[in-house]
Structure 1
């Protein structure tokens, strides 16, 4: 199991933040990574605050529609997170590709 995981991680170097942090040697990149982690945490916190504020009126009436709303909000948040991650990954991929092409 662990060996398969290691080969997977070796094949996909961007699958783990921790591996990436270890791989990046320069301070600047580490700082950038920290900032991106902080931003994602911030986005999560904002989403959580949104969920809590949306739940407040539901406590008064308890109409039963709130779970679905929360489900949809969570779904939207997760989709957004996925899309943002994908965007970051693609931007990184493109810059790496350009770097390689410029060397030729």
Structure 2
């Protein structure tokens, strides 16, 4: 069960989106990019009104949204990319998947994964 984002350290990169303005459009965008996200070992979490939507197959703890918001000091309509090491790699107010892919693909650990 995932109750804290640290539970995913060294297993997955994380895309955390807090209180987006247009949840339906965002979820459609994430669904359309599912293959590219999976290839990059990226799990996404959309936090909206105390609920969490995700592409993770693992069960989520009831306190995941609260823990993530407090731990990362994330504001409304904020997008965070968290690396395999648990560090915040990018923070912004818009989700640009192409820019996100380019950033991830330039990371040393991702380049090592591509060589395997």
| TM superposition score normalised by structure 2 | 0.24
Where relative contact order (Cα < 8 A, 6+ residues apart) is larger, the structure is: 2
Higher helix proportion (structure 1 or 2): 1
Higher strand proportion (structure 1 or 2): 2
- Structure 1 or 2, whichever has the larger Rg, is 1
